[in-house]
Amino acid sequence: MTANPPVLKNYIGGKWVAARADQTLDVRNPATTEILAKVPLSKATDMDDAVRAAREAFPEWRKTPPIERARYFFRLKNLLEERFEDLSRTLTTEHGKTLPESRGSVKRGIECVEVATGIPSLMMGKVLEDVARGIDCEAIRRPLGVFACIAPFNFPFMVPLWFLPFAVACGNTFVVKPSEQAPMSQQDLFALLDEAGFPPGVVNLVNGAKDAAQRILEHPDIEGVSFVGSSPVAEHVYAECGKYGKRVQALGGAKNFIIIMPDANLERSVDNIAESVYGCAGERCLAGTVLVPVGDMYEPFRDKFVERARALKMGNGLDSGVELGPVISEAHKKRVLEYIETGIKEGAELLLDGRNPSVKEKGYFVGPTVFDKVKPDMVIAQEEIFGPVACLLPVKTLDDALDLIHSHDLANATSIYTTSGESARRLRYEAEPSMMGVNIGVAAPMSFFSFGGAKGSFLGDLKAHGWESIDFFTDRKVVISRWF
C-alpha cells in the first residue's frame, strides 16, 4: 500500500488547487487493491470556481483565431505521444485493463485531438449570394461559452477527449468531472494541457462524484453537458438539462447482441467475438454480451467459444501476455457475481464458471464466464452485467435474432458474423442499435465519425465526436445582408 497516498487536486484557472471537500474516496489499483491516491469529493462551490474561471476565459479564447486554437492541440498531441507509454501504464493501474487495451484507448483519445486540429475547416460556415435580389445570406458557427463533461470509469482517459478537444477548438471553454473511481489519468492529461500552455480557465478539472456533477447540471453559466455513464444516470442528466435549459448529449448503458450466422467463418470469428466479450473485462459499452448463434451454427460455435474463453490468461494487466484483467472494484465484483448467481437460479446452464478464478494477485478478478441456454426474458439477458460474462442465446433464424434486438430497450451496438451480404444488409437496414459491426465485434466509430447508440442507450440528438460534435458545440447564426 502506498504510504500517505496523495489527495488529488483540481485544476482551475490554470492552477492546481485543493478541493473544499470534507470527504475523500480511496482510488485503488483493481489488480492489487493498493491505494493509489485519495480523490476528493468536491463541493458545488469548487464547481462554481471552475465555471467562473471558464466563463472569464471565454471572451478572449473565443477571439483567438481557430488556426491558433488548433496549434495548442498540435502541442498537446505531441506531448501525448511523448508520454504515450506512461499514460497507458497509468490507465492500466487505475482501471485494471491490460496494457495493450490501455494503449488502444490512449491512441483513440489522441485521435480525437488530431481531428480537432482541423477546426479551421470543420468550423467553416456557409454563404449564399442573392437569396433575394441583392441580398446575401451567411451561416456562421459560433462558440457558446462553457461546456462540461461527466465521465464514466471504464474509459477514464479517452472519454473526456471525445468532447474537450472539439468543444475547446470551437472556441468554448471546458470543465471535466472525471469518474471518482478512476481519476488518475485525467490528472496526467491536465498536466499535459497545462504544459501545452492553454490559457488559464480554458480547460478545468474538478474531481468528485454526484454533488459536483449535479452542480454542472444546475449551473446557469454552463451551456451544455456531455455525459457518458449508466442509463439511469443518463436519464437523470437528460431530464435535468431539459429543466435547466441546456444542450445535452447523454450516452448510456448497453446490452449488445452478436449474431453468428450459419455461414460465418467460424475459425476467423471466434477470437474476435471472445475479445468483444472479455476485452476490458467486459466493462465496455460496446462489449458483445448476448451471443446469438443462428441455426446449425449453435453447437460448433458454443464449443469453440468455450474453448477460447477457458484459455484466456488472467492477471495484472501490466504483465505481458495477460488477456483479462480485474473488474474495477470490490463492489462491482460483487455485483457481477450476483448476476452469475441469478443466471444459475433462472435456469441458464453455466458452461464456464468464473466465480473463483485462480490468479496470483489479490485484486477484483472474475474469470471468463459462459452461460448457455439463456432465455430472452432472463435477467442476465436483459440487464447490463458489465463483466466478463457471455450469455449464449441460440435462435433458429435471422428474424428471431432481429426480434431479440428489437425487443430490448437499449440499442447501443450490434454485430453480425456472416459471409452473406444479404444478411449483413438486413441487419444494417433493420436493426436499431446505431453502432454496427460486420465481422467486427467491437464496432467503435473513429473520432472523425460520430459515436453513440439509440433508444435507451443515447438521449439527445447530436452524438459524440465527428462532425456532429461541431454542431453540438456551436450555434449556427444566420446573417442576411443588404447594402444600399
Asked if 233 interacts with ligand NAD (CB under 6 A), we say yes
Q: CB-side exposure of 135: number of CA atoms within 13 Å?
A: 7
Q: Which part of the chain contacts ligand NAD (CB under 6 A), choosing from 83-91, 144-152, 267-275, 389-397?
A: 144-152
Phi-psi group of 162: left, alpha or beta (phi > 0 → left; psi -120 to 50 → alpha; rest → beta):
alpha
CA distance 125 to 66: 13
Among 96, 104, 152, 363, indicate the residue that binds ligand NAD (CB under 6 A). Answer: 152
Cα 186 to chain centroid, rounded? 14
Q: Judged by CB, which is closer to ligand NAD: 150, or 392? A: 150
Asked if 384 interacts with ligand NAD (CB under 6 A), we say yes
Burial of residue 67 (number of CB atoms within 10 Å: 0-12, 13-18, 19+): exposed
Among 285, 312, 336, 411, indicate the residue that binds ligand NAD (CB under 6 A). Answer: 285
Asked if 275 interacts with ligand NAD (CB under 6 A), we say no
Q: Which part of the chain contacts ligand NAD (CB under 6 A), choosing from 130-138, 205-213, 263-271, 397-405?
A: 205-213
Query: With DSSP H G I counted as helix, E B as strand and the rest as coil, what are the percentages for the chain, rounded to 5?
Result: 40, 25, 35
Q: Judged by CB, which is closer to ligand NAD: 151, or 205? A: 151
Q: Judged by CB, which is closer to ligand NAD: 56, or 235? A: 235
Exposed e or buried b for every residue in 94-128, given b needs 16+ CB within 10 A? bbbbbbebbbbbbebbbbbbebbbebeebbeeeee
Q: Which part of the chain contacts ligand NAD (CB under 6 A), choosing from 2-10, 163-171, 251-259, 355-363?
A: 251-259
Which cell is 108 given?
Answer: 483513440
Among 386, 417, 472, 473, indicate the residue that binds ligand NAD (CB under 6 A). Answer: 386
Burial of residue 194 (number of CB atoms within 10 Å: 0-12, 13-18, 19+): middle
Contacts with ligand NAD in 158-177 (CB under 6 A)? 177
CA torsion 336→342→343→349, rounded to 10°? 120
Contacts with ligand NAD in 12-51 (CB under 6 A)? none
Q: Which of 149, 170, 285, 391 is catalytic?
A: 285
Q: How many residues bind ligand NAD (CB under 6 A)?
A: 29
Asked if 10 interacts with ligand NAD (CB under 6 A), we say no
Q: Judged by CB, which is closer to ligand NAD: 253, or 394? A: 253
- Per DSSP, the three-state class of 338 is helix
Q: Judged by CB, which is closer to ligand NAD: 140, or 454? A: 454
Contact criterion met (CB below 8 Å) for 135 and 481: yes
- Minimum distance, C-beta of residue 151 to ligand NAD, in the bound complex (Å): 5
Which cell is 297 given?
Answer: 451454427
Asked if 179 interacts with ligand NAD (CB under 6 A), we say yes
Q: Which part of the chain contacts ligand NAD (CB under 6 A), choosing from 119-127, 248-256, 366-374, 398-406?
A: 248-256
Cα 399 to chain centroid, rounded? 30
- Minimum distance, C-beta of residue 428 to ligand NAD, in the bound complex (Å): 20
CA distance 377 to 347: 12
Amino acid identity, position 212 = A
Contact criterion met (CB below 8 Å) for 212 and 177: yes
CA distance 103 to 109: 10
Q: Residue 382: which H helix or E strand, with range?
A: helix 379-382
Asked if 453 interacts with ligand NAD (CB under 6 A), we say yes
Asked if 215 interacts with ligand NAD (CB under 6 A), we say no
DSSP string for residues in 239-259: HHHHHTT-EEEEE----EEEE
- Minimum distance, C-beta of residue 483 to ligand NAD, in the bound complex (Å): 48
- Minimum distance, C-beta of residue 229 to ligand NAD, in the bound complex (Å): 3
Nearest residue to ligand NAD, by Cβ distance, number only? 229
Q: Which part of the chain contacts ligand NAD (CB under 6 A), choosing from 50-58, 229-237, 297-305, 466-474?
A: 229-237
Is residue 149 annotated as part of the catalytic site, yes or no? no
Which cell is 274 given?
Answer: 471472445
Asked if 104 interacts with ligand NAD (CB under 6 A), we say no
Which residue(s) pair with 415 in the sheet?
A: 258, 437
Contact criterion met (CB below 8 Å) for 235 and 241: no
Among 33, 214, 382, 439, indicate the residue that binds ligand NAD (CB under 6 A). Answer: 214
Among 109, 143, 229, 368, indicate the residue that binds ligand NAD (CB under 6 A). Answer: 229
Angle at 287 between CA 390 and CA 101, to 5 degrees: 115
Q: Judged by CB, which is closer to ligand NAD: 79, or 250? A: 250
Cα 240 to chain centroid, rounded? 21
Site mask, ligand NAD, residues 387-426, x = CB under 6 A?
-------------------------x--------------
Among 45, 78, 82, 210, indicate the residue that binds ligand NAD (CB under 6 A). Answer: 210
Q: Which residues bind ligand NAD (CB under 6 A)?
A: 150-155, 177, 179-180, 209-210, 213-214, 228-230, 233, 236-237, 251-254, 285, 384, 386, 412, 453, 457
Task: Cite the active site residues.
Answer: 285
